[in-house]
Chain A
Amino acid sequence: MAGAAYPTSPVRPTRGLAYYLRVLRVVGIIKFKAKYTGAALGYLWSLAKPLAYFGVLWLVFAHLLRTANQTDDFALFLLIGILLFTFFSDTVAVMLPSIVEGGSILRRLAFPPILVPLSASVGIFITFLVNVSAIVVFIGIGRVSPRVEWLLVPPLLAELYVFSLGLGLLVAALYVRFRDVGQIWELAVQLLFFASAIFYPIGILPDWAQKVAFLNPFVQVMQDIRHAVLGSSGPNDLTAATVYAGAGGRAIPIAIALILFATALAFFRREGRFFAERV
């Protein structure tokens, strides 16, 4: 480098893993910080939302309707479900409008457009990790003793992240063409929340409905994580392996997550060449 005011070109790649990771780190952290500056309670809001859901559902199902006694440790059972669902739905929700909102920079600089939704998702992931740590410290300790199965949690979270990213990329690319996608997703989130056995044991569903529910990778991940964290807790401790009768059944939702991700990625890349013109 010449050290002059306008240095001659060092290598300045806009591809490769190091470049992607650098952008995700820099942009992700800046947007994460920006989200919470200016709000009086700042970061606490992102913890308040899942905790409020938890409070309401716990009150209703553990005290008013008393359906919760089918599960040994309903509070943790519910909390795991809500935290995972918040992570899943927030990731998709933040990716959905990202291309349209990032139009200003996409129209002026050539870079891989996939970085826009991916860097938007980084903040949600950080939030999730902080929330989990906070809750583990305040509630988890003393109620469950560590088990070997906990080692399964990180790969299961990775699967959930892949599934969320796949869905997020798909809706982000579709939203550029069809603004309805925003409303559709809002409705879909509500329906998924009720359909995903978050606040009720999946065992109360008829057999056929269990089979349908487990097609959703979110349900499989949630049940597997509940199983890993809480251990075997009676007839409602169901995983994909039990529902599809056989260890091979476990592969069905995993395959769905991977296929969705691959398809969404291909679709996003095809559409991505024209984002700058369409946003």
Chain B
Amino acid sequence: MAVAIEVTGLSKSFRIPHEHRTYFKEYFLHPLRRTQYERNDALKDVTFSVEAGEFFGIFGPNGSGKSTLLRILAGIYVADSGRVQVTGLLSPFIELGVGFDLDLNARENIRINGTLAGLTQRQLDARFDEILEFAELERFVDQKLKNYSSGMLMRLAYSIAIQIPFDVILLDEVLAVGDESFQRKCFVTFDRFKREGRTVVLVTHQHDLLRGFCDRVLLLEHGVVGAVGSPGDLVGVPSEGALIG
């Protein structure tokens, strides 16, 4: 079977300065003082692969590097070392979705996000109504997003993410603030992705999702791959993160 995502020896660390030197003044007043950094190894030598058409779950406690991993897969962060190869078009849904400008309305935000993702005017027009319909926001299309609830923002973001043509979709905590009816709609799309043979990477704390949809799951602990295997074997006792999810 073809490989959709191949990750080899991936490492990423962030340097968190103790005193944030964002002003030139700091350099003039203390030119000799070296900034103290705390090294946070978000990911350490992560290796795994996802097959094309696979529904792949990633779970682990808060701060274990899940979002960082997804951002590197999406090409948003640059890895320190290691290799990431994604085959096919990718659509990311990270940190409650796409980036919105809250001072603009839904119509404008859909246009901006779709265009940045590479859609032409015609492709966007063809999908525009469907995006609004799925998000159930037709009535609010001309309202500024700052008046939206977090659930509405999330519906719009998910709706855009799945309407951007993709082979691989990255879903980070997609159900975190959705209500029950939206969750059910998401499950329908999950089934559809599976039938259509699309590759899904789902980050979640919800064990029933991991067990219900995923072909395989990966447990990430402190930036290290704890285990990869079938959800039946790995997902059992709720982890500490489940309290939040």
Contact = CB atoms under 8 A, between A and B. Distances in A.
A109 B24 CA distance: 30
B23 A274 contact: no
B223 interface: no
Interface string A5-43: 111111011100001001100110010001000000000
Contact of A12 (B74, B92, B103, B165): B165
Contacts of B104: 30, 34
A8 B17 CA distance: 45
Contact of A6 (B77, B99, B162): B162
A26 B76 contact: no
B78 interface: yes
B165 A105 contact: no
Contact of B103 (A34, A115, A274): A34
B192 A5 contact: yes
Contacts of B167: 9
B130 A19 contact: no
A75 B116 CA distance: 44
Interface residue tally on B, bucketed by range? 35 or more
Interface in B186-214: 189, 192-193, 196, 198
B112 A26 contact: yes
A4 B165 CA distance: 11
Given A110-B92, A178-B22, A277 B98 contact: no
B118 A106 contact: no
Contacts of A26: 111-112, 115, 121
Contacts of A66: none
B166 interface: yes
B164 interface: yes
A108 B103 contact: no
A242 interface: no
B108 A30 contact: yes
A9 to B, nearest CB: 4
Contacts of A9: 88-89, 165-167
Contact of B100 (A6, A13, A104): A104
Nearest to A276: B76
Interface in A179-214: 179-180, 184
A63 interface: no
A177 B95 CA distance: 23
A267 interface: no
B92 A111 contact: no
Contacts of A49: none
Contacts, number: 108
Interface string A93-117: 0000000001011111111000100
A23 B116 contact: yes
Contacts of B89: 9, 12
Contacts of A106: 76, 99
B147 interface: no
B111 A178 contact: no
Contacts of A184: 24
Contacts of A6: 162-163, 189, 192-193, 196, 198
B78 A273 contact: yes
Contacts of A110: 74-76, 92
B22 to A, nearest CB: 5
Contact of A109 (B92, B120, B192, B198): B92
B66 to A, nearest CB: 15
Contacts of A102: 99
A13 B117 CA distance: 8
Nearest to A102: B99
A70 B100 CA distance: 54
A86 B75 CA distance: 37
B47 interface: no
A9 B164 CA distance: 9
A2 B130 CA distance: 15
B235 to A, nearest CB: 27
B23 A23 contact: no
B155 to A, nearest CB: 16
B14 interface: yes
Contacts of A30: 104, 108, 111-112
B239 interface: no
A273 B167 CA distance: 25
5 contacts: A12-B117, A12-B118, A26-B121, A109-B92, A110-B75
